[in-house]
Amino acid sequence: MKPIVLLMLWLCAGVVNAATFEGVGHANIRENNLDQARAEARQAAMRDLALQFEASISTQDTLENGELTQSQTRLSSRAQLHNATIVDEYRSGNLLRVIVRAELAAASGSDSCKAGDASGLRKRVAVTGFPIVMPQQGGSPALDDAGEKLPLALVSRLQAQGRMQVLGSTSLQLFSNLPDAPTSQQNLTANHLTNVLQLARELGAQFVVSGVIRDIGLSDPNAWGSSITNRMQRSIGLVDTTRRFEAEVMVFDGFSGSPVLRQRFATSARWDPKGSGSGGFASAGFEKSEWGQAVTGVINDMTAAVNSALACQPFMARVTRVDSDRVTLASGATAGLRPGDELNIYRSQRYFDSLEGTPELSDAGVSITLDNVHPDFSTGRLPVTGGQVNVQRDDIAIIW
């Protein structure tokens, strides 16, 4: 047998900004399984949507003795797809047609990635506190709670975008040694944080976002004296009344504790205590000051950085139960999973001489097809029993 591989032409269409499009998909209803047909039609509609952006299609046909025995079509797209929703459904006999509406934006530049099926799923992200390295720099009640208000503002922005499941744990501090964060004194050579793994497991999060506020000090503390001379100098602009702001955001993989993103953001602007507002850091009154507006811009940049770092990451769900060929996953409809979705199973393992090291994922060579999806968990079937391929609890199901 000699496989013959036929590659089709690239189909390209460039779009820069996000826009709303509609795609049409069809599927046959077999054995009155409407849910399975709906899932297949939705996937077809998603492919139709991707074709409206920069995309490539490759078809691999296998011929044996002149007869077509296998045909596979692969689609890859640089489009980022968000908020996909079925807006119309029509059934005619055993044929089901659906229309899916979604927002698409083409990635560009060196930071782009090929958006696979994972781009339409909502990864679960936990956001912890951003403690201040030197709290005494605040010197104002409006800034004392910045370590909790900053991540709350980050949570609010991420939730508003609707691309992730965002869990707030802003009172939790991950780092014991703030100046050197995220380095751990317990294991200086490890490239992971064990408390990240524990938190991710407790909250069921795929990623953990944390950080520290490294600098929140005044450029010239003496400029804010209470003497008449100090007040006159401030009023005529003879002293530097700016305040600095520097924060570092870190994103960790919840399954391994390894860093996905580590980036610093800094700004400075004129500080006016009266313009900070009674609501404290990141409140509506706070944003009326020049410094508050500058910090708000930094928080927006942080939100964009987190989105960019996680957009190209695969969707992962932990295996919580294996019973013969039935597998239960710790993710469900709230993440965007639907009956008919197929996830590849990867085995999570550690070596005896490195039990505290990063777990290694190896392809188990099987996939699970979901047939029952609940809000926070889902179940599906393997093509063989779990014991035959050694699929166990704590293995990982992945959609790329």
| Phi (first) and psi of residue 317, to 5 degrees | -135, 140
Cis peptide before 221 (omega within 30 of 0): no
CA-CA distance, 312 to 76, in Å (whole number)? 13
pLDDT, average across residues 305-320: 91
**pLDDT at site 69:** 45
Rounded to an integer, what distance in angstroms lies between the CA atom of residue 253 and that of residue 196? 8
Task: Look up the pTM and report it.
Answer: 0.67
The pair of structure tokens assigned to 94 is 């055993």
- CATH 3.40.50.10610 residue spans of the chain: 123-311
Instruction: Please determine, looking at this structure, whether the domain spanning 123-311 carries the CATH number 3.40.50.720.
Output: no
CATH of domain 315-399: 2.40.10.410
pLDDT of residue 265: 93
pLDDT confidence band for 358 (50 / 70 / 90): low
Least confident stretch, 48-57, 100-109, 261-270, 316-325: 48-57
Q: Does domain 10-115 have CATH number 3.30.1660?
A: yes
Q: Is the dihedral of CA 346, 42, 20, 205 positive or negative?
A: negative
Q: What's 187's DSSP letter?
A: -
pLDDT at 86: 86
pLDDT band, very low/low/confident/very high, at 382 (cuts 50, 70, 90) = very high
What pLDDT band is residue 368 in, cutting at 50, 70 and 90? very high
Q: Taking residues 323-352, what's their average pLDDT?
A: 89
- The answer, yes or no, to whether residue 169 has pLDDT greater than 60, is yes
Element (H, E) at 196: helix 194-203
Contacts of 367 (CB under 8 A, 6+ apart): 342, 343, 344, 345, 382, 383
Provide the percentage of residues in the chain whose pLDDT is more than 90.
30
How far from 304 is each of 17, 77, 115, 268, 315, CA to CA, in Å?
Answer: 15, 21, 17, 20, 19
b/e for 18-56, b at 16 or more Cβ within 10 A?
eeebebebbbebeeeeeebbbbbbbbbbbbbbbbbbbbb
SS3 label, residue 377 = coil
**The pLDDT of residue 222 is above 60:** yes
The model's confidence at residue 188, banded by pLDDT at 50, 70 and 90, is very low
Tracing tokens 């930094």 back to the chain, one arrives at 298
Q: Which residue has the higher pLDDT, 21 or 208?
A: 208
Is residue 387 within 8 Å of residue 364, measured between CB atoms?
no
Cα 361 to the center of its chain, rounded Å: 20
CATH 2.40.10.410: which residues of the chain? 315-399
Q: Phi, psi at residue 286, to the nearest 5°?
A: -60, -40
